A and B are shown apart, each in its own frame.
Chain A
Amino acid sequence: MRPAAPTPPTPREPVLRVENLRKHYDSVRAVNGISFHVCPGEIVGLLGVNGAGKTTTISMILGVLEPTAGSIHIGAVDLLRHRSRALSCTNFAAVYAPLPGNLTVYQNLRIFALLYGVHNFPARLKEVLDAFDLHKFRNTKCGILSSGEQTRVGLAKAMLNRPRVLLLDEPTASIDPASAREIRSTIRSYAARTQTGVLWTSHNMYEVEEVCSRVMFLSQGEIILAGDPRTLPAQYGKSTLEELFIGVVHEPLDFGAFQS
């Protein structure tokens, strides 16, 4: 009996589709016509120096910054036309956006559960507290937690609504290496299990290599390189991703930047 032919992979619709996205402030082109997508379960790294346009891009995907041009789709939902519906399927964590310090972990998560329309909150609360080892801080005010603990609370908030798209802006920036490894592992398994698409920014190239299946280098608002972080350095004659990053910073023209 002949073995059955392998089932062709189902084409995966991107959970996040960004097309020709621009944000201009007068003469400054913060983001200049970038296009990319993130598929279900995929973790995509958005890399670049400070001011390259990473946070501007994330802010536009979060609906808190209006693009000058272009489109953003969360699944099939156009963010610019159906902001509320699109944002119910996204979430984010960033070191510069801690949760209110004058509320406890429970209170913050309760409020964001209402805002994101989370069903069966007690069960979901238990899951996210388990995932980020936060049970002992349940009734502690967020403001008195260490920065690493606050980051974990932010990540718990980010996963509360089981987002289809998760935006993580330097999620491990203030965390010790051991906890950072645990968090990376939690996020990776979460993304794989739930098929959540993750857009991840980081300046830690080791981390990016470990978690991202694809990276994009952003420089002066444009994507100048994209590919697999494990093979990309060799393609450009570099031995590590960090070397490639430094090369992109110092000689962006060598990598095809700003030729359009």
Chain B
Amino acid sequence: MNLARIAAVPLRQFYLYRGSAARFVPVFAWVTVDMVLWGFMTRFLGSLAHSSYRFVPALLGAVVFWDFLTRVMQGVTTAFFEDVWSRNFLNLFATPITIPEYIAGLLSSSFATSMVGLAVMMAVATAAFGLHFAAYGAMLLPFVLVLFLNGMALGVAAIAIVLRFGPAAEWFVWPIPALLSPFACVYYPLATLPAPMQWVARLLPPSYVFEGMRAVVSGHTFDGAYLVTAFALAIAYLVLAYWIFARVFRLAVQTGLITRYSAETVS
């Protein structure tokens, strides 16, 4: 892996973000809106419940984490879309950059933008609604890491879809987090779901994170085996997503799709 070639991908994103408010503002604007909306929702639910349930760390915290996963995924896809939108595939893939380097570049770009988003969310949730991340204790870092790995896997799988089916397939990508959220148990416990949906949920690493998060803030213990399962699934999905992208890229080079990408298909 050549670090200079990897660095070229996030450097391009940096130039684009620096020169365009339309790109930079959404990094923190929408997550701020989400924090405000869900912050008040959480307060309202807390005032209704009159119970000891800790809505702020359980619900608002879940929103922070889910938004983080979404931002990680979109960080990967948006960096890729910049090459789609500017029809840059031919220039880019005629250079010595390899697919692992390109993916590593997209991931590092996503890391930077998603960390900005996470920091903004944490600041707003803490300052405005009293969310203290210390409530998650030592589990905070593993939770974030699992979501980061899974967001990367979703992002890489999503760009494989777009590479395979053409620029219009971008519209398959944006709703992916919304499609997964009912199964990811972001806002409710796994037991709430009917049995078939629980099976799907158990295949998704975020469901373990959100179950664990609720357990920790309720003062219950969280089985370490679940965390290991979540990590194992997250890593497996990332490897699988990379394999799918590499296969799709190979197919695009074999069929000539890379050179005629705007045509969406060469058949």
Contact = CB atoms under 8 A, between A and B. Distances in A.
Overall SS of chain B's interface: helix
B2 A117 contact: yes
A55 B256 CA distance: 11
A115 B259 contact: no
A107 B91 contact: no
Nearest to A118: B4
A66 B253 CA distance: 6
B181 interface: no
Given A114-B11, A117-B4, A100 B88 contact: yes
Contact of B96 (A55, A59, A117): A117
Contacts of B12: 100, 103, 107, 111
Given A102-B20, A114-B5, A117-B5, A92 B11 contact: no
Interface stretch (A80-88, A122-130, A144-152): A80-88
B90 interface: yes
Interface centre among B12, B16, B258 (most CB of A within 10 A): B12
A66 B2 CA distance: 23
B97 interface: yes
Interface residues of B, number: 33
A110 interface: yes
20 contacts: A63-B94, A64-B90, A64-B253, A65-B253, A66-B253, A66-B254, A83-B98, A84-B96, A90-B94, A96-B90, A97-B87, A100-B86, A100-B88, A102-B20, A104-B15, A111-B8, A111-B12, A115-B8, A115-B97, A117-B4
A229 to B, nearest CB: 27
Interface of A: 25, 55-56, 59, 62-66, 83-85, 87-88, 90-92, 94, 96-104, 107, 110-112, 114-117, 157
B7 interface: yes
Given A97-B90, A117-B2, A84 B256 contact: no
Contacts, number: 90
B15 A114 contact: no
A22 to B, nearest CB: 13
B4 to A, nearest CB: 5
A110 B93 contact: no
Contacts of B89: 64
A87 B96 contact: yes
Contact of B91 (A59, A84, A112, A117): A112
Interface in B246-267: 250, 253-256, 258-259, 266
Contacts of B91: 97, 99-100, 112, 157
Contact of A114 (B7, B19, B90, B94): B7
B180 interface: no
From B7, B8, B82, B255, name the one whose CB has the most chain A CB atoms within 10 angstroms: B8
B145 to A, nearest CB: 29
B253 A114 contact: no
Contacts of B256: 25, 56, 59, 65
Contacts of A64: 89-90, 93-94, 253, 258-259
B95 interface: yes
